[in-house]
Structure 1
């Protein structure tokens, strides 16, 4: 009972923090029909500054990080991103009325990472004085790219397999080879390295990943500590509060889009962030036992797994899977997945405190 009481107290205390308060405030304003709007250029500018801040901090920390201490969490991030897409896509495609492309696009967004959610988690840990590795931001691209590439490949493979099936007289036969002729897949391996390169290149060029990698590169190769501490660090929490307000309003407005699609998306969007976060937490525990990965690092890895991409993912999916329904995968991820992930931060903090201790 004492453990349950401690966890409940932690949850209540965290919900009183500015990060969650602004998120719920934005949802309340939208629910009440408020006409408050934040111009899109301001939103993009805030996201850019937050991504540069996270990237710079990660790059500065990577300079002094042990290779093994960084490599194992990075591999865990890749594994989590791939597993979320594989199992998420399979579960969604089992529901009647959900196409394979819609399932993979949705799973891809839920497997990718939300920069704003990660920033919110960092702010909450900082407010509590909880230590986490500075290189955490460098794990973002590993999970994000792994999830997006996996989702697009599985969707393309499914499409290629369907194209290779010739229905004659009520029987289905596969063309020669292993079932992946045409559709951009090469040879007998079913894997087109040219397409893989294109997907990775396009993902790296996306606004979120580009800004993050730029920050990491400058932090790693230059000496930006002065501007990081005098400009980016002081602005971080204030800008994050505005971003949470915007996301709260956006999340509420996106909920209406879920009415247009199968109820399976509603169930998935509510359950997936928690389940994915627990998967990430499990891999974080593996890294903790192997390398001494901090409890705060475990929380943030879990949060990256719980989050769903709201910046790099949607345009990537729109370009790579134009046949997928944006109302389904964006409505599920932004409308419900993002607020559920952010609201779950106190749960992961309490879990880490119980299993590892701060």
Structure 2
């Protein structure tokens, strides 16, 4: 890994705001961002990414690579939760293993946003269709997780039956984050280019500022939840560190069979390495009510997210550029 690239990533202003958020919580500062503001910023980031992706897709000729990319993304989102479940089931309950497997098979929109900013700082572009790949990777992981739960988790006497697969899939597609990024992608795709230029200052120029504030909040949330799963021992921590790094590294190497684009291969790696802590937890509340949110949310947000944005991104880019 290029040491200069790692240092540049660690001194990125947006990442430093993430660190500031962690420090603010550690020193018990009264720094707080109103929940309504955080929700607005998260929706803005998804809107911006989706809209810009749709605009880029509108100006890109449709090709076999786009179909291969969509298929590859769906394959990753189906395989990762499958083998993750059987690793986790050795030490955890079926409900916890299923929820964690779904989270790690799915993707983190915030990690995707940070990755897009990272590529921009390196002056590397990626295809607009990768936004569609990200959005489509949410549901398959949830579906696989629910199927595994239905297969291996039998409700005890008196417990409610697991909800049907259809209701959980519907919930995953109507989740606010998925609907926003998919809807913005479609709008960007069909919008008139000249009219779209009129909102460019909003979709592009202020993006990094909002991202910095959002990561400040993510830093505070991470610090508050980091110790929540300490009672589960080192196994879950090692899983949250090693499995995403292995997933991202493997995909960074083998994605050259799908595309030659450095930016697209990097995005594939970050999608494979990231874990959902928004869409999947919302779905798992329905599908796996016995699973402990104090385990799978801190794993994804408190361990995997900071590992990816500090060490992961320079590692994946180095692997893409040298394979």
Common fold: TM-score over 0.5: yes
Distance (Å, rounded) in 2 between the aligned partners of 1:269 and 1:93:
15
Whether 1:286 and 2:257 are equivalent positions in the alignment is yes
Whether 1:72 and 2:68 are equivalent positions in the alignment is yes
Partner of 1:257: 228
Q: Deviations 1:87-122 (Å, cap 9, x if unpaired)?
A: 111111112xx1011011011111111111100110
Which of 131, 141, 150 in structure 1 is aligned with 2:144? 150
Partner of 2:186: 217
Change (3 A) 1:65 1:310: farther
Q: Is the contact between residue 105 and residue 324 of structure 1 (CA under 8 Å) also seen in structure 2?
A: yes
Partner of 2:107: 113
Partner of 1:9: 4
After TM superposition, list the pairs within 5 Å mapping 1:179-258 onto structure 2: 195-223=164-192, 225-258=196-229
Change (3 A) 1:123 1:326: same
Q: Is the contact between residue 70 and residue 133 of structure 2 (CA under 8 Å) also seen in structure 1?
A: yes
Partner of 2:322: 354
- The 10-residue stretch of structure 1 (38-47 or 66-75) with the greater mean CA deviation from structure 2: 66-75
Which of 61, 80, 85 in structure 1 is aligned with 2:81? 85
Partner of 2:263: 296
Which of 19, 24, 35 in structure 1 is aligned with 2:14? 19
Distance (Å, rounded) in 2 between the aligned partners of 1:228 and 1:87:
43
Distance (Å, rounded) in 2 between the aligned partners of 1:143 and 1:221:
22
After TM superposition, list the pairs within 5 Å mapping 1:44-83 onto structure 2: 44-63=39-58, 64-83=60-79
Shift of 1:228: 4.3
Q: Deviations 1:53-104 (Å, cap 9, x if unpaired)?
A: 1111222223334241211111111111111101111111112xx1011011
Distance (Å, rounded) in 1 between the aligned partners of 2:246 and 2:199:
35
Q: Is the contact between residue 119 and residue 263 of structure 2 (CA under 8 Å) also seen in structure 1?
A: yes
Partner of 2:24: 29
Root-mean-square deviation (CA, aligned residues, Å) is: 1.9
Q: Deviations 1:177-235 (Å, cap 9, x if unpaired)?
A: xxxxxx67xxxxxxxxx944333211111011011111012112222522441211112
Give the alignment's TM-score, normalised by structure 1.
0.83
Unpaired stretches in structure 1, ≥5 consecutive residues: 164-182, 185-193
Which of 306, 309, 313 in structure 2 is aligned with 1:345? 313
Shift of 1:284: 2.2
Partner of 1:323: 290
Whether 1:308 and 2:275 are equivalent positions in the alignment is yes
Whether 1:135 and 2:102 are equivalent positions in the alignment is no
Change (3 A) 1:99 1:227: farther
Partner of 1:172: none
Shift of 1:303: 0.7
Q: Is the contact between residue 249 and residue 319 of structure 2 (CA under 8 Å) also seen in structure 1?
A: no
Structure showing greater Rg: 1
Q: Is the contact between residue 225 and residue 302 of structure 2 (CA under 8 Å) also seen in structure 1?
A: yes
Whether 1:335 and 2:302 are equivalent positions in the alignment is yes
Distance (Å, rounded) in 2 between the aligned partners of 1:213 and 1:219:
10
Distance (Å, rounded) in 1 between the aligned partners of 2:50 and 2:22:
29
Shift of 1:271: 1.3
